Amino acid sequence: MSKIEKFEDLKIWQDGINLSIHIYQILATCRDFSLKDQMCRAAVSIPSNVAEGFERHSNKEFIRYLRIAKGSSGELRTQIEIAIGIGLVKKETGEDLISKTRYLSAMLQNLIKIRETNF
């Protein structure tokens, strides 16, 4: 495993960026501007908080921001459930997105555990 020198090297950040882009693409024609805005904000918050925490150059701060990113993942998962329920997002698409948010949440939790025990 190569040394992580910048947040762009983190797989969790890369996957968070990809999910954010995917959410924006899926909701591109959405006319429910309130839910669309909340979903996009939550999605963008995940990689943004990973980046911000990394740039703080403090393990304690990094863990704090990873927890915020994990919270945003749960927030987004909730909003996806609502979007499925009201027919804004197709069930199959929504289930795929939910799976991706669960994966990101698990990755964040693992990174938090690693940072808590190794530093």
**pLDDT of 60 over the 70 cut:** yes
- Predicted confidence at residue 4, as pLDDT, reads 84
The structural domains of the chain, ordered by start, are 8-26+34-118 (1.20.1440.60)
- Provide CB contacts within 8 A for 59, sequence distance 6+: 115, 119
- Predicted confidence at residue 40, as pLDDT, reads 98
> Which pLDDT band holds residue 2 (cuts at 50, 70, 90)?
low
**pLDDT of 23 over the 80 cut:** yes
- Predicted confidence at residue 39, as pLDDT, reads 98
pTM, two decimal places:
0.94
Alpha carbon distance 62, 91 (integer Å):
35
Instruction: Give the ranges where the chain is alpha helix by DSSP (H).
Output: 11-26, 33-55, 59-85, 91-118
**Residues 93, 96, 97, 98, CA torsion sign:** positive
Alpha carbon distance 19, 43 (integer Å):
7
